[in-house]
Amino acid sequence: MPERIIAPKIQRGNTIRVSAPSFSASIFKPDLLHSAAATLQQMGLSTTYGNHSQEIDQFRSSSIESRVADIHAAFEDPDVNGIISVIGGWSANQLLQYLNYDLIRANPKMFCGFSDVDALNNAIQAKTGLITYSGPHHIFFGQERDFEYTKKHFEKAVMGSSPFKLEPSKQWSDDDWTTEQQKRNFIPNEGLVVIQDGSAEGKVVGGNLCTLNLLQGTEYMPQLDDVILFLEEAKFSLLGQIDRDLQSLVQSKGFKPKGLVFGRFQPNTISISELFEILRTKKEFKNIPIIANADFGHTDPKGTIPLGGTAKIVASKDGSLIEFIEH
């Protein structure tokens, strides 16, 4: 297992490179991309785009060669301080065998995205030891309403060095805000849900569940012993699929987590009671703390999860805690 590497923290005046390792940036209207860049500018950060980020093919992506070239160029460029994906998609795992992990290890930089991009996050972490961030894509910085939570937790994770808590948001949403910025449906947040009491501290592994499972049996899969798993899933994965994806994960080599945190599920996927029933069938999750309904994943707002960092969790009816100690 490679030694842990923490990239230099992002500072005001730094440059963020936007890359498209999954879907192309061209699926969005230019004004939305400009709005995202303007928000980062307000945070004191300049934005540049990968040379191939606007290319698009029949898969709404671009060639493997183009996407790999943009990632390598971003890590090589001394004027680039951090890298963020424009959006997720389906095919980031195509890139794994072509990435130069020695180059990445020699030029550690903030790398952030989630969903399909968690294939890259976990592979880079496993191969180089670099802490990566399962957090907002570039396009989310274009949100006009209720973005403050996402922004604050992104800043704490990639710009700050102090421990920070993943606090429950006041409200959440699951809108297609990219097509209608003002017509939003905000739902009061019931807060963290304790499924199993306890406390634990360990290395952070996870992100999107079905994407993480793509790495099983490969050299790109992180070790799963003595870890705190942070898992979330998108709305296309329903009850039986989530059950089978979790079952596949617990059958992977060396699986022995110390704790488990689930991001909020999107509406019309599974309920907390159904999640409880799924977990009840898996002895590997007995006697460890389990928390659900945390603010990360495919609903908004979303926290930024430092994969490869260290987390402490407390699951208790009297008050729960999710804190990232080293990130």
Looking at the annotation, which residues are catalytic?
115, 232, 298
Identity at 12, one-letter amino acid code: R
CA 193 to chain centre: 20
- Residue identified by tokens 């294939």 is 119
Q: Are 86 and 18 in contact (CB under 8 A)?
A: yes
CA-to-CA distance for 75 and 163, rounded, in angstroms? 26
Handedness of CA 264, 267, 268, 271 (dihedral sign): positive
CA-to-CA distance for 159 and 48, rounded, in angstroms? 18
Compute how many other C-beta atoms are within 10 angstroms of the C-beta atom of residue 42.
10
Tokens describing residue 132: 């990566």
CA-to-CA distance for 73 and 88, rounded, in angstroms? 20
CA-to-CA distance for 51 and 53, rounded, in angstroms? 6
Cα Dmax for the chain? 52
Q: Are 9 and 45 in contact (CB under 8 A)?
A: no
